[in-house]
Amino acid sequence: MSLSTKMPALTSHDRRGDPCLRCGARPESVCGVIDDCDLHRLSAASVVTAFDPGTSFISEGEPAEHFFNVTDGHAKLYKLLPDGRRQIVGFARRGDFLGLAVSKSYAFGAEAIDRVRVCRFSRRKLEALLDDFPALERQLLKVASNELVVAQEQMLLLGRKTARERVASFLRAREERPVPCGDGTGRVPLPMTRGDIADYLGLTLETVSRTLSQFKRDRLIALPTLSEACLLDREAVTEIAEAAGTAL
Amino acid sequence: MSLSTKMPALTSHDRRGDPCLRCGARPESVCGVIDDCDLHRLSAASVVTAFDPGTSFISEGEPAEHFFNVTDGHAKLYKLLPDGRRQIVGFARRGDFLGLAVSKSYAFGAEAIDRVRVCRFSRRKLEALLDDFPALERQLLKVASNELVVAQEQMLLLGRKTARERVASFLRAREERPVPCGDGTGRVPLPMTRGDIADYLGLTLETVSRTLSQFKRDRLIALPTLSEACLLDREAVTEIAEAAGTAL
DNA sequence: CGCACACTTGAACCCCCTCAACCCAAGTGG
DNA sequence: CCACTTGGGTTGAGGGGGTTCAAGTGTGCG
């Protein structure tokens, strides 16, 4: 990748050579609020790293020395109980910022699902960046607020929804916006395992599997491969997810 | 509505009479980061309001025009499903900032438990304050991050803990720091009803009641009144909450 | 191919929910 | 002062949704 990028000797203000400038994650990430001409500050503060599938790159409870910006791949974020019970608190994809939980130690662990690429910032350097770019800080506040809303929605799911409703909600939430599945039905990539989905929805993997099979039998979805679902009847799935049919 | 609510005549520059200066919530709230001499900017932007018990002062889905800073009392924050199922996503007390979820509409409803007093800010005025006081913005980011950590802990509770573990976790989390109960055992104020606790923990009120009774029978807690618990055996309750005894 | 791992499917069980009765304290009004 | 109401809380019996345990069935990759 790095070969043949004919770069004129790097000056602090580089014209087109800055890696952040070409980063595919930039438009979907907090970096988007930084002007092109300031991007070199970002790239100077960050280290690009990649993790193989299954690699755990954040450990719950460890000192939080780094922040991560995911530029490619998927990761699961989880919390554990001493006896091994696991709750996945979120999945991170391109553009997601990890480590927002500004405290002494990480509030959750993170493990790569497929091959994950990240920009890593040290705590110190990120704080310096925040001082210099108020827009970045405001963007982080916005991101954190949105995460909070998502987390509250998940609490409703975990506390009050049935298995059917949870799985339907999950499918709707992970549906990709731009890419419909064949004839306009929603395409849902599922890079994680059924067990991961179960630990995200507060169910067992058997219940997730059974419910997906049920949806398939009812022609609500199709499962062309293990790692992809198609919403054949978006309307119906949405209704189940929002528990709309059971009202009254 | 109520008697004798004489609001101190508010001038934009009050010398020592600034209500924010005397506000008991200030040290526990985001306002704490504002210098004394700038406090008048805060009080000028806010309107003090009180709500009777049972009053709903935020409705989920309504346009989010105001932010609230709770200065006294307790409120429950909740989300509803169409058929009436309810999930309480948090309880707000003195110093808590509501409406952080910066979006077009409120992500949850709020209802006063006891008599609640708040400072109300319009969205527009708050944003102006954020522009002028970067420290306030940073503090909000900190608060939001902490809320996120709490939310993730609650996801673990809702998704993976047993009823016993949930109730024990709740008691430990709501234990008041400074005021021990009599002989050093932890005092836990419970201004909310059993039904509220149940909707917070993803249980039924019967299960909450049964579990509390069980704890009482086992001499782990005492229930001197309906709205107060005492942790007689903090150690044991903590162990149950963290599922520490069940490991291996 | 063939192993390994993930997923599916089935049957029995259990924790918590549902439904229902009862208790108790605080009003309220005659 | 007591009968009645009301709202929250407790306790009990029975049932159900999801889990647990246990085989099977792909499916991807060496």
Report helix, strand or coil for A233. coil
Band (A66; pLDDT cuts 50, 70, 90): very high
Of the partner residues A101, A138, A142, the one whose CB lies closest to the CB of residue B149: A101
More confident: B40 or B12:
B40
End-to-end CA distance of chain B, in Å?
59
Handedness of CA A58, A60, A63, A69 (dihedral sign): positive
Q: Is the pLDDT of residue B226 over 70?
A: yes
Query: Per residue in A139-151, pLDDT tens?
Result: 999 999 999 999 9
CA of A213 to C1' of C8 (A): 9
Report the pLDDT value the prediction gives residue B185, as an integer from 0 to 100.
73
**B window 198-227, beta carbon within 8 A of A:** 199, 201-202
Dmax over CA atoms of chain A, in Å, equals 70
- Contact (Cβ atoms closer than 8 angstroms) between residue B106 and residue B58: yes
Average confidence (pLDDT) over B66-75: 96
Report the pLDDT value the prediction gives residue B166, as an integer from 0 to 100.
98
Report the pLDDT value the prediction gives residue A3, as an integer from 0 to 100.
39
Report the pLDDT value the prediction gives residue A80, as an integer from 0 to 100.
97
Is A196 an 8 Å CB contact of chain B?
A: no
How many angstroms separate the CA atoms of B73 and B49, rounded? 12
Report the pLDDT value the prediction gives residue A8, as an integer from 0 to 100.
45
Least confident of A9-13, A42-46, A122-126, B189-193: A9-13
Band (B67; pLDDT cuts 50, 70, 90): very high
Average pLDDT, chain A: 89
Report the pLDDT value the prediction gives residue B10, as an integer from 0 to 100.
44
Handedness of CA A229, A231, A232, A233 (dihedral sign): positive
Dmax over CA atoms of chain B, in Å, equals 65
Length in residues, chain B: 248
Report the pLDDT value the prediction gives residue B7, as an integer from 0 to 100.
46
What stretches of A69-204 show up as alpha helix (H) in DSSP? 123-132, 134-160, 163-174, 194-201
Chain B interface mutation, best of A86, A133, A158, highest count of B Cβ atoms under 10 Å: A158
How many angstroms separate the CA atoms of B120 and B129, rounded? 13
Report the pLDDT value the prediction gives residue A103, as an integer from 0 to 100.
75
How many angstroms separate the CA atoms of A39 and A34, rounded? 6
Average pLDDT, chain B: 89
Is A47 an 8 Å CB contact of chain B?
A: no
- State the amino acid at position B131 in one-letter form: D
Residue whose C-alpha is closest to residue B21's, from B12, B10, B31: B31
Report the pLDDT value the prediction gives residue B19, as an integer from 0 to 100.
85
- Contact (Cβ atoms closer than 8 angstroms) between residue B192 and residue B74: yes
Average confidence (pLDDT) over B198-206: 98
- Contact (Cβ atoms closer than 8 angstroms) between residue B155 and residue A150: no
Report the pLDDT value the prediction gives residue A100, as an integer from 0 to 100.
77
Query: Per residue in B111-157, pLDDT tens?
Result: 999 999 999 999 999 999 999 999 999 999 999 999 999 999 999 99
- Contact (Cβ atoms closer than 8 angstroms) between residue B64 and residue B99: yes
Q: Is the pLDDT of residue A12 over 50?
A: no
DSSP A3-56: TT-------SS-SS--GGGG-TTGGGSGGGGS-GGGHHHHHHHEEEEEE-TT-E
A52 touches strand D (CB under 7 A): no
All residues of chain A having their beta carbon less than 8 Å from the beta carbon of residue B85 are 160-161, 243
Is A128 an 8 Å CB contact of chain B?
A: no
**Hits for CB < 7 Å against strand C across A residues 195-224:** 195, 205-206, 208-210, 212-213, 223
Report the pLDDT value the prediction gives residue A179, as an integer from 0 to 100.
54
